[in-house]
Amino acid sequence: MPEVKESPRVAVYGLGAMGLEIVRILYRRHARVVAGIVRPGSDKDGRDLGDLAGVPGLTFPARGDASQALHEAAPDIVVVTVSTYLDDTQFGIFSTAVRAGAHVITLAEEMLYPFATDNPLARELDTLAREHGVTVTGTGHQDAYWVNLISVLAGSTHDLGGIEGRLAWNVDDFGPALAEQQRVGTTTEDFSRWLAGTERPPSFTHYSLYALAAAVGLTPDGTAECVTEPVLAERDIHSKALGTTVRSGTLLGYTDTDTLRTKEGITLSVSSQGKVYDEHETDYNEWRVTDGSGKPTLHLRNSDLSTAHTTCASLVNRIPDVIAARPGIVTVDQLPQLRYWTGLHLA
């Protein structure tokens, strides 16, 4: 008889909108969810994970003591859905999981390609993961729609001059922290002061362009720029994430346009609009490939997407790849083509 392979033991660190959606997907895919972890002091600490996620079979409580929870649960991999950037707090979360002997897979956008900014925490985390024989990877919607699909599109042309992307996503799908990060509800004056006076970290798409360059086989020349513009409400619109009304003339969010130039003379750019949607608006990704003269040659548009769901589903489908990868930080350009797994089994 063929050997029966076990599904991985998975802990989920961060039980907001995205973390709970991942719990639901994992449960439906018959992965063994063995722990749900929240920050100390969270009002979710001690509540049954099944009640939080709306699934009947997970009767153990969410825990605020991450080290002890990981020691007791002994997961193969920890899903982290806490924040965007690799800062001291995020590094502490990742390193706790790594020291527990678990792989880490995260939705933190910086972790898609953390070496783009030469973050010293990335180098330290890479060394730590190698020492413990585990893998750390960032993934999500951008893995599929901003890297994998686009590298395949580029692979179908013989004269590549540039790649240009446009995309939109609904802030309300991702919870209040991201809505606040997108400056929802602020005035244009407040936004201008924030933009002028804040040392902003790179945008979400900054990291994806570096990952795309690596996937296509291009070498960034160190020239990268970002232009940020507000998106204003033309009428009062309710924000589900914030539970308030965004007044006409204030910000629904903003658009970042990132450009990355490469040593091969090929320019990559993408405009990402994150805002509270008006009725009938939907997520989309649109990409155009141009030839050496700047003439558009290929066009790809994905319309009516559920970015929040594809973000979570992409992460779940990456779990077998991450568990099988070499130790250290492994970016998605180094992993196999993203695919659907009928069963999330250990190799």
Residues 323 and 221 in one domain: no
Residues 47 and 176 in one domain: no
Residues 236 and 103 in one domain: no
Residues 326 and 225 in one domain: no
Q: Quote helix, strand, coil % in the chain, to nearest 5.
A: 35, 25, 35
Give a yes or no: residue 345 inside a domain. no
Number of other CB atoms surrounding residue 39 within 10 Å:
15
Give a yes or no: residue 344 inside a domain. no
Q: What angle do CA 191, 14, 21 make, to 5 degrees?
A: 95
- Domain ranges, residue 171: 142-305
Residues 16 and 115 in one domain: yes
Residues 100 and 230 in one domain: no
CATH at residue 236: 3.30.360
Computed over every residue of the chain, the mean pLDDT equals 94
pLDDT for res 2: 33
Pairing of strands 296-305, 283-290: antiparallel
Residues 204 and 295 in one domain: yes
pLDDT for res 201: 85
- Domain tally, the chain: 2
Give a yes or no: residue 339 inside a domain. no
Residues 91 and 160 in one domain: no
Model confidence, pTM: 0.91
Residues 125 and 199 in one domain: no
What stretch of H or E contains 77? strand 77-80
CA–CA distance, 7 with 322 (Å, rounded to integer): 14
CA–CA distance, 336 with 338 (Å, rounded to integer): 6
pLDDT for res 108: 95
Q: Would you list the DSSP string of 124-189?
A: HHHHHHHHHT-EEEE-SHHIIIIIIHHHHHHTT-SS--EEEEEEEEEGGGS-HHHHHHTTTT--HH
| In the predicted structure, residue 205 carries a pLDDT above the cut 60 | yes
Residues 21 and 84 in one domain: yes
pLDDT tens for each residue of 127-156: 999 999 999 999 999 999 999 999 999 999
Mean pLDDT of 157-170: 96
Give a yes or no: residue 341 inside a domain. no
CATH at residue 64: 3.40.50.720
Find out whether 85 and 117 touch, Cβ atoms under 8 Å: no
Residues 175 and 273 in one domain: yes
| In the predicted structure, residue 199 carries a pLDDT above the cut 80 | yes
Contacts of 3 (CB under 8 A, 6+ apart): none
pLDDT tens for each residue of 216-228: 999 999 888 999 9
